Amino acid sequence: MCFKTQAKATDPIMLPTFMGIGAPKAGTTWLYHCLREHPDIFMTSVKETRFFDYGTIDGRMAEYHAHFAGSGRYAVRGEFSTRYLTSCRAPQRIQHHLPDIRLIVAVRNPVEQVYSHYWHLVRQNFHQWHHDCLPHSFEAALKQYPEALLEPASYDKHLQRWQQYFDASQLLILFYEDICRQPQDILQTVYSFLGAEPDVKPPSLQAHNSSVRRGASPRTAGLGQLYALLYGVWSRHIAYRCKQYLGTRTVARLQDRLKLRIWAEFVFMHPGYPSMQPDTRARLRAFFEPDIRGLSERTGRDLSHWQ
């Protein structure tokens, strides 16, 4: 069933000039808000359209155009879909429809990214309907969901595929540690790369310490299960129905205004995660070592502290 995201027939067809393609848990939500707050940049109201990773997009481009309806006065237009980085079909599709697009990817120490992503999936019930099939620990999750957890952190593997379709000059690689330490410098780099005024200081820059998410885990196992249950009810039933009648963008704006996630995590979560088991950390470092070496060679950056 289609949500109400269709543009008006009289609207000019507008397309993005850039995309953020990943990685999850690497500061992309903060980047999205900083881009959205720039007066010269139009961002989709839904952070992740995931359009080019759909099973089929034949005959559906009008749905994608609708995300950019009303953006005609903006020279810079974009979206962030972190799923694109690992997608096998997105690079070719995007190159076909948007060959001149600029791409942004944020990366993070892969061991830390995997662990952060795990707790994110815990909060979301691993996108499952029932609790009886959920992993009981991080180590169990690595065995049960290796693709969901390990693939998004295999950055160089995926960048190699993207650079088969796009020139290196079209790709900006950011590092999460730089976002945390030098947010203003990073924003100037991003804005300049996109052709926007680089000296804008968006509100999210001032709120940097709280808006670059430090991660959260359930206060108790019971509260974690309750949070996941409520999250599923909201996303699969209430929000889904609202999107059918009000439209995806309207519901996204409503969620932002109500600050639903902030309030829910305040009640059910506490900052930070339990410590990772040392032997698990060692195994993950060994697993990612070849990819880290490749990324270091690709970017010219010393990443030995990741190994």
In a domain, 186, yes or no: yes
In a domain, 169, yes or no: yes
pLDDT of residue 1: 36
Which range marks the domain in which residue 199 is found? Answer: 18-114+152-212+291-306
In a domain, 223, yes or no: no
What pTM value is reported for the model? 0.81
165, pLDDT greater than 90 = yes
pLDDT of residue 159: 99
Query: Quick check: bond before 23 cis, omega within 30?
Result: yes
In a domain, 158, yes or no: yes
The pLDDT > 90 percentage for the chain reads: 62
In a domain, 299, yes or no: yes
**Beta strand 171-175 pairing with 76-80:** unpaired
Average pLDDT, rounded, for the chain: 86
37: buried, middle or exposed (CB in 10 Å: 19+, 13-18, 0-12)? middle
Query: What is the CB-side half-sphere exposure of residue 206 using CA atoms within 13 A?
Result: 5
For residue 173, give the CATH number of its domain. Answer: 3.40.50.300
213: buried, middle or exposed (CB in 10 Å: 19+, 13-18, 0-12)? middle
Lowest mean pLDDT among 49-63, 125-139, 284-298: 125-139
CA 109 – CA 305 distance, rounded (Å): 9
Quick one: CA dihedral 233, 235, 240, 246, positive or negative?
positive
In a domain, 275, yes or no: no
- Looking at the structure of the chain, the number of domains it has is 1
pLDDT in tens, 67-107: 999 999 999 999 999 999 999 999 999 999 999 999 999 99
pLDDT in tens, 29-70: 999 999 999 999 999 988 899 999 988 898 889 989 999 999
pLDDT of residue 153: 98
In a domain, 183, yes or no: yes
Of the candidates 71, 78, 59, 74, the residue with the CA atom closest to the CA atom of residue 11: 71
In a domain, 65, yes or no: yes
2, pLDDT greater than 50 = no
CA 216 – CA 266 distance, rounded (Å): 10
CB 216 within 8 A of CB 265: yes
CB 139 within 8 A of CB 277: yes
pLDDT of residue 299: 98
pLDDT in tens, 261-279: 666 666 766 666 788 999 9
Average pLDDT over residues 113-117: 96
114, pLDDT greater than 70 = yes
Residue in the block written with tokens 């994608």:
64
pLDDT of residue 256: 67
CA 200 – CA 260 distance, rounded (Å): 28
pLDDT in tens, 203-219: 998 765 544 556 666 77
pLDDT of residue 257: 66
Helix (H/G/I), strand (E/B), else coil: 43: strand
131: CB partners within 8 A, 6+ apart: 125, 225, 228
